[in-house]
Structure 1
Amino acid sequence: MIQITASVFINDNESGLHQDYDRWLEELVPFNSGTDPVSGGYLHNRTDEDNADAHHKRQIMGREVVVIAEGKLRLGPWEHLFYYEFDGRRRKRVLVKVIGE
């Protein structure tokens, strides 16, 4: 189970790449706590929330990955598993589910 404003993905663990993701996502879906869509606000924020951007960022980055095949961890030599939370104002929990024998 993953929170609705968080993503799990696989990529290289390089700080510049993480900064690039942060910048790219903020350009695509900027944080805006406004509710007026004409001025760039999000309709979702009319529900007394201000995390519409986090929902969109999660949708872009995905929500699950498969890292085990034939009973072995299947990551490339530079790949790492990441959990990104785009709305860090609430307590979160992560459940890892292993399916198989």
Structure 2
Amino acid sequence: MPRVRQPRSARGVYGISVASELTGIDPQTLRLYERRGLLTPARSPGGTRRYSDDDVDRLHQISEHVAQGVNLAGIAQILHLQRRNSELESDNSELKSENARLRSEQPAT
């Protein structure tokens, strides 16, 4: 079965030490964020965490929320709502495109 190619930004390429260096977040804290479900880095065949550019962006976002005093449960909720909002915006765009297509196919009256 052919592998689905992920966008470059979603491919896990950084080990935990590099992700830590890029974000300024201690590796233990990165592990905690994973346990709390704030992000899920890819894993190598040997089980090593591999962080993507998207993961690094998410970690910067998490750091901003922590700096503002938001607890991890609150951050999880914020991230969930942001993801859901993006999904709804995408669905809305698809529906608008489909609606426009259907209107253009209707015969003029």
User: Shorter-chain TM-score category?
Assistant: under 0.3
Q: Which structure: larger Rg?
A: 2
Structure with greater contact order relative to length (CA < 8 Å, sep ≥ 6): 1
TM-score by length of 1: 0.23
Higher strand share goes to which structure?
1
Higher helix share goes to which structure?
2
TM-score by length of 2: 0.22
